Structure 1
Amino acid sequence: MLHIGCHLSNSKGYLHMGEEALSIGGDTFAFFTRNPRGGSAKPIDPADAKALMDLMERNGFAKIVAHAPYTLNLCSDREEAREFARNTMADDLARMEYTPGNYYNFHPGSHMKQGPEVAIEMISDALNGMLAKDMTTTVLLETMAGKGTEVGRSFEELAEIIDRVELKERMGVCLDTCHVYDAGYDIVNDLDSVVDRFDSVVGLGRLKAVHINDSKNPFCSHKDRHEKIGQGSIGLDAFSRIVNHPAFRDKPFILETPQEDMAGYAREISMLRGCVRD
């Protein structure tokens, strides 16, 4: 079964997001924990969060994927920026316990010319300071396209971060199809080899979720510009292979494609479900 949804706005609360996901044929979704550019988060209504969890159970939802703000950078060259990122993520992880057992995804950050090794140490140190044995959330590192000084452009960089985290059982990876293709992993012509590489470097047990997006740019461009499914350089045939691959079949797929309205996501969900082979 294909578990698929899209990014939804949390402006009207948790239950509304679950109902909106159902309305477009989804059985999972992603949402920003707060404004994607940072800032304070609105208070959580525990009854609203509980209502979402009940709806998810009744409708067979996969795990949902919360997304940290884009502005967080645990490996910034400025201490005040690193402190802001640590404080925000710690607050987000506390808030995630209102919807226990789900995923919290974040971009590893940009090393700002300090070098990836310095950044990897900063990121893992920060995670060691905020992960706890009694938390129920799994924190996901997102695969990145490699633009500028981004960390996470290779499976090896993600593995290095996880290797330095003490509570490894609380760590996973969210694979973004646009990002890995732009980073130089050929999921169009050699998907099996990419999966094997991920397994040998990171381990398929760490793969928890997939951001499913086409790319506006060609292979290995390091650009990170998402396109609608089937309208970019990855193409629908490749996505059909991805949603049917045994490494991905049971994972929540999250669309982050550029759409004018929710009807666009509904069309893509229907199209990708139509690609699934029993």
Structure 2
Amino acid sequence: MKDKFIIGAHQSMDEGFEGLFNYSVEADSNTFQFFMRNPRGSKAKEFDYKDADKLKELLSENNFGKILCHAPYTLNPCSDKEYVREFAFEVMEDDLKRMEYFAGNLYNFHPGSHLKQGIDYAVEEISKLLNNILFEDMNTTVLLETMSGKGTEVGSKFEELKMIIDRVNLKDKLGVCLDTCHVYDAGYNIVDDLDGVLKEFDRIVGLDKLKAIHLNDSKNPMGSHKDRHEEIGKGSIGIDAFKNIINHPKLRNLPFYLETPLDNLGHREEIELLKSLRGE
């Protein structure tokens, strides 16, 4: 039996949980990513259980893949300021409580920036946060996102992700989301040596920890450490590389989420292109 291509785009919460599903159908997708709250703030609307129940019903009826909630960009779990670290804890704890209502899905966050405090300091603070918010019977998998390495960003090297995971008690609740733009900008050659990059990831972190892919082209060359997303096939990664990524036997069964600079109709065109590259 042919495996299912799980592909979607980042969607707006402007029209609530049911709206997330409707936007996804409009984009011809079978999953989506979203922010539970303002991505550059902290406020979240009161949780609407009726709306949430409707989304759960629609996801089940339409055989959607795992949905992914993204933590706000404002969070920095390894800040040099205690109140910033506490803010990250409070927001992530609340997001995860909400995500448990949609059991069995994903929650992704940026590991943060150590602000010249050093990687050892950052790893200690990030793992401390995870040990405080992960719990035994949770059904949501929390993902560390691979980063581009701009400034003092943590997570641009597979070794840094491994250092965090090693210090987390409930490792089975933790995984990695690989962002194609980020890893390319970080210096991993997914264009000419995808097999080599995956082999290195497997050796350091373990492919069993890879749970999702952010599918983004890059406006900058490999190793630039810039993190500027481009439309699929229009950046320095290129269409052939994306064909290889979505069809790779070690990746093709993962959920893929677009974060490219397009509106919903633009994402529909990208998804149609990617489906054609999968032969669908």
- TM norm. shorter chain > 0.5: yes
Alignment match, 1:264: 266
Rounded to whole Å, the distance in 2 between the matches of 1:89 and 1:41 is: 12
Q: Which amino acid aligns with 1:243?
A: I
CA distance in 1, matches of 2:62, 2:233: 28
Q: Give, in whole Å, the separation in 2 of the partners of 1:132 and 1:38.
A: 26
Tell me if 1:100 matches 2:103: yes
CA–CA separation in structure 2 for the residues paired with 1:74 and 1:154: 17
Look up the SS of the partner of 2:102 in the other structure: coil
Question: Aligned partners of 1:42, 1:75: CA distance in 2, in Å?
Answer: 26
Matched with 1:276 is: 278
> Partners in 1 of 2:41 and 2:174 — Cα distance?
23
Distance in 2 between the 1:39 and 1:164 partners? 27
Structure 2 counterparts to residues 49-68 of structure 1, below 5 A: 49-68=52-71
Contact 1:244/1:277 (CA < 8 Å) preserved in 2?
A: no
Which of 200, 218, 223 in structure 1 is aligned with 2:221? 218
Amino acid at match of 1:272: L
Instruction: Give the aligned partner of residue 156 of structure 2.
Output: 153
Normalised to the residue count of structure 2, the TM-score between the two structures is 0.97
The answer on 1:82 being equivalent to 2:85 is yes
1:55 to partner: Cα distance:
1.2
**Which of 7, 12, 16 is residue 9 of structure 1 equivalent to?**
12
Provide the rounded CA distance (Å) in 1 between the counterparts of 2:60 and 2:156: 35
Deviation, 1:256, is 0.5
What is the one-letter code of the residue matched to 2:173? R
* C-alpha distance in structure 2 between counterparts of 1:233 and 1:185, whole Å: 13
Deviation at 1:277, TM superposition (A): 4.2
Equivalents in 2 of 1:255, 1:101: separation in Å?
21
* Counterparts of 1:19 and 1:252, CA distance in 2: 19
Is contact 1:175-1:211 (8 Å) kept? yes
- Mind listing any 5+ residue stretches in structure 1 that lack a counterpart? none
Matching of residues 171-250 of structure 1 within 5 Å: 171-250=174-253
Per-residue deviation, 1:38:
2.0
Indicate the RMSD between aligned Cα atoms, in angstroms. 0.9
Aligned partner of residue 242 in structure 1, secondary structure: helix
Q: Could you tell me which of 110, 115, 118 is aligned with 1:115?
A: 118
User: Residue 144 of structure 2 is aligned with which of 141, 149, 154?
Assistant: 141
Question: How far did 1:66 drift?
Answer: 0.2
Partner of residue 135, structure 2? 132
- What amino acid is aligned across from residue 270 of structure 2 in structure 1? E
Percent pairwise identity:
59
1 CA distance for matches of 2:130 and 2:221? 34
TM-score (norm 1): 0.98
The 8 Å contact of residues 217 and 229 in structure 2, kept in 1 or not, is answered as yes
Q: CA deviation at 1:224?
A: 0.3
Number of matched pairs:
277
